[in-house]
Amino acid sequence: MSTVATSFGIEEALKQLGIKEVNKGTSTGNDWFSNGEEIASYSPVDGNLIGKVTTTSKDDYEKVMQAATSAFKTWRVMPAPQRGEVVRQFGEELRRLKEPLGKLVSYEMGKSYQEGLGEVQEMIDICDFAVGLSRQLHGLTMHSERPGHRMYEQYHPLGVVGIISAFNFPVAVWAWNTALAWICGDVCVWKPSEKAPLCGVACQRIAASVFKKNNLPEGISCLINGDYRVGEFMTTDKRIPLISATGSTRMGKIVGRTVGERLGKSLLELGGNNAIIVTPDADIKMTVIGAVFGAVGTAGQRCTSTRRLIIHESIYDKVKDAIVAAYGQLRIGNPLDENNHVGPLIDTDAVKMYQQALDKVVEEGGNIVVEGGVLQGEGYESGCYVKPAIAEAKNNFSIVQHETFAPVLYLLKYSGDVENALEIQNGVNQGLSSAIMTNNLREAERFLSHAGSDCGIANVNIGTSGAEIGGAFGGEKETGGGRESGSDAWKIYMRRQTNTINYTTELPLAQGIKFDL
């Protein structure tokens, strides 16, 4: 273990979570097995090896699916409140292990320790939400046009749910899906990102212990590991009616097409190109806090990260100066050190993408107002630390139209009223998160109206980044159109059925059709 890992308790955290030097990456619960090649997990914090995970072979996958389909027959008939009780116990285990799991998230992915703890808290919150929901999986009752008939709808478990998650939220997004799927009566097969496989191993161990304590069969929670080829095992498998995939728009288009060809369902959470509109009536202090955290939190590697700041020309220089001054106070370094604001990018490939984006914005005529660059020297040995950068640009620049998964913020100027700002904000292919900073009620309501923001998330006087689990999470256009987490997002994990009961001695037909024998 490195000095960083030792100093910040990573070694002890790994021990508490059952992480070994080499971990089997395939599991149906307490049964662990793998016959694939090894993948190594290196921390972007210090570049050191954390551990290795063996990947899932095709034969391993078949064993997983046999266990999952068998377990579904048992799990689906358990009353939903009883399933909710199991999820409650899972949430309690997460509470007990919040600190070590938060440290692993921070060390393996690179986000700040506080954000790592926050991600585990999201898992706990969705478990709490799911427990309550387990007593509310309700349909509707409709009036029949035929006398002596009752018509209603109900929801049934869907089956095996396949989950493909991304590196930037290596545990929370899985929990968003699996907690709801479990209370709906589904079983889950999860492929975590190959860039954060140990987080997947840790979560599976926690879940497996809960299912074992409740004498439930193997297969309710399953883990597979590997690259896109392992993901293809699921996307092409007709035994999996729903694939929930989080990642890039490019990946989502492939998943959506593949699953669609077999008439399966997809829940896609893809790229964002999120903007904050800053009007003349904005509170500048609130604007700075929201924009800076949105742009540099998780080193700009959130799908909800703030990419564009659309500022009215009358306050443009004032806002720009305040944002630039705030960037001058940022501390970049080891994310386990709570004095630092910004940690590393996930790997050196992400660093190259960041550098290319800065080169491209200058090439297209933009102006760099806060210089970027790769940090070197003591504490930055992994080569993954970069300076958050700010550039003045135009919305029609190709690089601005593209989502750069790094801390690069583009300043855009608008004139006139909020209509012009909305045209800029909506003028990209992505539609995940958006925000407006204003104390003008008319501007706020216009932003939230039918002809306002075209994003799945629209906020007033808070930033684009961060979401509570009570609301449905997701976006429009090339963000994929899926919804996870709160509200009625649970419905995608179930199949809807309409029922009609005739309690008379006659058999009248709908629409008054006569068919006499």
Q: Which of the residues are catalytic?
A: 269, 303
Other beta carbons less than 10 A from residue 394's beta carbon: 14
Other beta carbons less than 10 A from residue 507's beta carbon: 8
DSSP string, 98-150: HHHHHHHHHHHH---HHHHHHHHHHHHHHHHHHHHHTT-----EE--SSTTEE
In the numeric block, which tokens belong to residue 7? Answer: 């100093």
Per-residue buried b or exposed e for 316-355, using 16+ beta carbons within 10 Å of the residue's own CB: beebbebbeebbeeeebbbbbbeebbbbbbbbeebbeebb
Kindly tell me the number of DSSP H helices and DSSP E strands found in the chain.
16, 22
Angstrom distances, CA of residue 238 to CA of 32, 56, 169, 262: 24, 19, 27, 7
State how far the Cα of 69 lies from the Cα of 300, in Å rounded to an integer.
39
State how far the Cα of 430 lies from the Cα of 368, in Å rounded to an integer.
24
Asked if 19 and 51 count as a contact pair (C-beta separation under 8 A), the reply is yes
In the numeric block, which tokens belong to residue 45? Answer: 């914090």
In the numeric block, which tokens belong to residue 406? Answer: 């790094």
Longest CA–CA separation in the chain, Å: 91
Strands 484-485 and 472-473 come out as antiparallel
Residue type, 42: Y
State how far the Cα of 456 lies from the Cα of 383, in Å rounded to an integer.
35
State how far the Cα of 25 lies from the Cα of 23, in Å rounded to an integer.
6
Residues 6+ apart with CB under 8 A from 220: 29, 68, 71, 75, 182, 187, 188, 211
State how far the Cα of 339 lies from the Cα of 268, in Å rounded to an integer.
35
DSSP category for residue 445: H
Helix axes 228-235, 58-75, angle to 10 degrees: 40
State how far the Cα of 384 lies from the Cα of 43, in Å rounded to an integer.
10
